[in-house]
Amino acid sequence: MLDRDSLMQAARDATGLDDFGPDDFEEGFAVLLESYAKDANLTDLGRQLAHDEIVGDLVGRLQVVEQLKQRPEILETKLERPIFILGLPRTGTTTIHHLLQQDPDSQVLEYWLGVVPKPRPPRETWNDDPDFQRVAEVLRLTYEADPGLRALHDVSAEGAGECRFVFRHLFKDDSYDHTAYLPSYREWFDAQPMDDVYRWYHDVLKLIQYPDDVGKRWILKYPPHLRCLKELFREFPEACVIHTHRDPAKVIPSFASLLTHFTAVYEKEVDPHQVGALAARLWKERIAQGMIDRAELDRESQFVDLHFREVLADPVGSLQKAFSALDLPLSQTAIDQMNDWQTTHQPERHGSHDYTAEAYGLDPEELSDAFREYRDHFGIPSE
């Protein structure tokens, strides 16, 4: 059983800390645990993984609260014009993120520091850091449980990671039901404002960059930022956005396949059609909201659009184009290092990702019609 008090005690025991800060996480925590209890059908491994992840969310929160209490001057630092990569999943966002991690003038939220936030230690010390070792081991076990996952979504402890781990400190994040059937949590989450999450997230980024990387350009990536553009710009008014695009009729089945693989590690039975319906609904809603919010924000000079085909054809060139459009510098050293990374990280190096829309109860023609306004607006060709 995923019990609130035992989970919180496990986090206290792991850290020796007991101050969870403000109670802004309590409602989401309670709704999530209730949803696991009444909705999910976890395997023994799934229950252990869910337990460990929730304890990890609480541990991250405890550590952030403690470190900001010890060094309140961190909150006085600034983030210089961060770049957010967002859009539909499976549209090249991960490739863009990893490429820009090679830029010595930029910084990313490394996967392990998203899980265990703290001031970024010198790179040469990471392999000996117990926090780094723990995160790397969890990833190893996940890929061991389903070796095919690496062909779908290849991440590493030292690599660029998504913002979701920081969002989970408030138990308000898209990713919980990407590994388990949690419809009551989803219903609650979709109705929540996210300003408190973005304030917390901003503070955590200040913590991680302190003191050596203050002033270094942040490159941040998370497709669900698309549902929160207004909250994002309220917290980061100088932000720039790289908005990626691809035919949703191709993307949604691919995303459904990814979620099905993840859920199969946790749940006793997985209904691929149910997963497909969730994937289609979520991204139809997020794209519609993103289009409305982007129009109302009237910040087009802070957005640049990249199509998946141009990213696939010339990843580094597409980023040079994007940085030029945003009037941002990109050094020759960065370009050379991105090209070097690209030559050793070709698509499908861990195998191919094979799937069909029909396996997830999806009809490509219906998907094409459902997203017609989006495709027409951004000039997205069908695949």
| Average pLDDT by stretches of 10, the chain with 383 residues | 95 97 98 98 93 96 98 96 94 94 97 97 97 91 76 84 97 96 98 97 98 97 97 98 96 93 93 96 96 97 96 96 97 98 74 79 93 96 84
- Helix (H/G/I), strand (E/B), else coil: 162: coil
Cα 60 to its chain centre, rounded Å, is 16
Answer for the pair 120, 174: CB distance below 8 angstroms, yes or no: no
The pLDDT of residue 144 is 84
Q: What is the b/e burial string over 265-283, where b = at least 16 CB atoms within 10 angstroms of the residue's CB?
A: bbbeebebebbbebbbebb
The pLDDT of residue 349 is 47
pTM of the model: 0.95
The domain containing residue 161 runs over which residues? Answer: 4-378
**CA–CA separation, 201 vs 220, rounded Å?**
11
**CA–CA separation, 196 vs 297, rounded Å?**
20
Q: Is residue 55 part of a domain?
A: yes
**CA–CA separation, 35 vs 182, rounded Å?**
6
Q: Is residue 42 part of a domain?
A: yes
Answer for the pair 104, 153: CB distance below 8 angstroms, yes or no: no
> What's the CATH code of the domain at 264?
3.40.50.300
**CA–CA separation, 337 vs 103, rounded Å?**
7
The pLDDT of residue 142 is 77
Q: Is residue 130 part of a domain?
A: yes
Q: Is residue 383 part of a domain?
A: no
Q: Is residue 245 part of a domain?
A: yes
Q: Which two tokens stand for residue 13?
A: 């025991």
Q: Is residue 78 part of a domain?
A: yes
The pLDDT of residue 348 is 54
Q: Is residue 272 part of a domain?
A: yes
Answer for the pair 315, 342: CB distance below 8 angstroms, yes or no: yes
- Helix (H/G/I), strand (E/B), else coil: 115: helix
The pLDDT of residue 141 is 81
Overall number of domains in the chain:
1
Q: Is residue 202 part of a domain?
A: yes
